[in-house]
Amino acid sequence: MLLGGRYLEKKKSVKSQKRKKIIDKAWELFAKNGYEETKVEDITRELGVSKGSFYTYFETKDELLYEILGKIKKKIVEALETINTNQKPEKILEDYVKIKMNSAVEILNNMRLDSLQKNICNPKLICFFEEIREKSIDFIKINIVEKFNEKNGNKYEAKIISEFILISIEEFLYDEFVLKSFRNMKEDELINIKNTDKIEISLKEITKFINNALK
């Protein structure tokens, strides 16, 4: 019985590793070439496995994409959960901005500029980013704006101010990481964000401004 159990565990582990390899390779190719342009054959060819092997783990390419997006969403949510929401709202905002920047770097790095544009227009990805956006707005509203309102006796409309804060941060990051890249890179080059020191300094100024505005 023990031997049978070990065999099943080992088999399960091997399947899990193969599944992970498909997910990792697919994300790499989606980032470089765009989701629509990447075929199942491209993924299996890169991995040196048959198409049948792919369909053992995923019924369709869409299912694979949802799996990848689910993992990214889980990672972002888990990162937000690491923020100590018992501290002052000023510090919560600082921590949130740092996580937002790190998430942007992780998603954008190794993505081709032309592929990024194609992916942004993908309806499946639009839905995904809308979900993340709503979670971010809720986090800012509950843990930052409403706490400022309570602390300072403000009567700001929490959801509207939360949307404004999120848009301000996202637009700044988009300009720094994407638009400036377009000016300095070819479309088929990979985005490679190495140094975020200057951006962190700028984000601290933005954070300071928002904190002062809410006081």
- Predicted model pTM: 0.78
For residues 186 and 108, membership in a common domain is answered with yes
Q: How many residues does the chain have?
A: 215
Domain of residue 40 covers 1-59
Residue entry with tokens 């193969």:
18
* pLDDT one-digit tens code per residue, 111-121: 666 666 666 67
Looking at 59, 80, 100, which one is the last position of a domain?
59
Residue entry with tokens 């964000």:
193
For residues 3 and 104, membership in a common domain is answered with no
Residue entry with tokens 């889980």:
74
For residues 162 and 102, membership in a common domain is answered with yes
Nearest Cα neighbor of 117 from 63, 185, 208 is 185
Looking at 10, 35, 59, which one is the last position of a domain?
59
Beta-ladder partners of 112:
190
For residues 10 and 79, membership in a common domain is answered with no
CATH (domain of 156): 1.10.357.10
For residues 97 and 41, membership in a common domain is answered with no
For residues 122 and 16, membership in a common domain is answered with no
For residues 130 and 189, membership in a common domain is answered with yes
Measured CA to CA, the distance from residue 183 to residue 93 in angstroms comes to 30
Measured CA to CA, the distance from residue 186 to residue 189 in angstroms comes to 5
Measured CA to CA, the distance from residue 22 to residue 144 in angstroms comes to 39
Average pLDDT, stretch 131-160? Answer: 90
Confidence of residue 92 (pLDDT cuts 50, 70, 90): very high
- Token couple for 117: 């544009």
* pLDDT one-digit tens code per residue, 1-28: 455 566 566 566 668 889 999 999 998 8
Residues whose CB falls within 8 Å of the CB of residue 54, separated by 6 or more in sequence, listed in order: 22, 40, 43, 44
DSSP secondary structure code for residue 112 in this structure: B
Looking at 59, 79, 104, which one is the last position of a domain?
59
For residues 70 and 176, membership in a common domain is answered with yes
CATH (domain of 33): 1.10.10.60
C-alpha distance from residue 62 to each of 21, 58, 67, 119 (Å): 17, 9, 9, 13
For residues 14 and 119, membership in a common domain is answered with no
For residues 132 and 176, membership in a common domain is answered with yes
For residues 48 and 104, membership in a common domain is answered with no
Domain total of the chain: 2
Q: Is the pLDDT of residue 110 over 70?
A: no
